Amino acid sequence: MLTSALVLGLLGSLHCLGMCGPIAFMLPLDQTNQVKKTAQLSIYHFGRLLAYGVIGVLFGLLGKGLSLFGIQQKLSIGIGALMIILVLIPGKYLNGHKLLSPVYSIIGKVKSKLGAELKKKTPDTFLTIGFLNGFLPCGLVYMALLGALAMGSPLEGGLYMMIFGLGTVPLMSLVVYSKGMFSAPIKSRIQKMIPVFVVIIGILFIVRGLGLGIPYVSPKAAPTDTVSATIECHQP
């Protein structure tokens, strides 16, 4: 299932450009030294991956807590179904919802901090910008977090999110070096493909939860040990 994180990151890179692209373009990179510029960009990406990893560990920990109640497979099915439902629900019904107001408040503070960091050129600036960037809202990040939750382990949850982040690195780096590399029709086609692949990943999580005995895809649930308390009476 970790492969799905990489696929989600690679295919969702163009979607991520909508949120992270402007920040990447505004990075105070050294334009006179390509080696230094690459190093600065790498530090920025490392900051993003670090943020994704931290969030992934937290969601993996939550998933582990739920799995202790013996509902890990049901959780995987539920998360897969939720991924599909969120793709089918128009974004206008989710944006601006009252339940999300605390999230928007936090996002506002993150953006303010980002704005201040973008004006600096100290060595730690790129790490800080990348780390804060990782907490900005993105539909694909939310989908990846559902995957991290389904992992049922802090380590695997963090790894899932970092692999997702790695998938976004190639395109995010390319746009910094070659602006305008994608035409509008190509962008439109890729954007239309993203929901399809999110649905496919959702189906994979559902299949995983069904325990069909398919290696690496849908392993059977481990049998639970039961304690027998029968008393046998033997006649002399």
Q: Provide, rounded to the nearest whole percent, the portion of the chain with pLDDT above 70.
A: 64
Total residues belonging to the chain = 236
User: Is residue 187 very low, low, confident or very high in pLDDT (cuts 50, 70, 90)?
Assistant: low
Q: Which of 86, 101, 110, 89 is nearest to 19 (CA)?
A: 110
SS3 letters across the chain: CHHHHHHHHHHCHHHHHHHHHHHHHHCCCCCCCHHHHHHHHHHHHHHHHHHHHHHHHHHHHHHHHHHCCCCHHHHHHHHHHHHHHHHHCCHHHCCCCHHHHHHHHHHHHHHHHHHHHCCCCCCCHHHHHHHHHCCCCCHHHHHHHHHHHHHCCHHHHHHHHHHHHHHHHHHHHHHHHCCCCCCHHHHHHHHHHHHHHHHHHHHHHHHHHHCCCECCCECCCCCCCCCCCCCCCCCC
Q: Is the pLDDT of residue 32 over 90?
A: no
- Specify the range with the lowest mean pLDDT, choosing from 36-40, 118-122, 143-147, 198-202: 118-122
Please tell me the least confidently modeled range out of 19-23, 31-35, 96-100, 228-232: 228-232
**Cβ atoms within 10 A of the Cβ of 181, count?**
10
Spatial separation of the C-alpha atoms in residues 193 and 207, rounded to whole Å: 21
Helices 139-151 + 184-210 axis angle, to 10: 20
Q: Is the pLDDT of residue 87 over 80?
A: no
Q: Among 7-11, 78-82, 91-95, whose mean pLDDT is lowest?
A: 91-95
pTM over 0.85: no
pLDDT value for 160: 93
Cβ within 8 Å of residue 121, ≥6 positions away? 28
- How far apart CA 194 and CA 145 sit, in angstroms, is 16
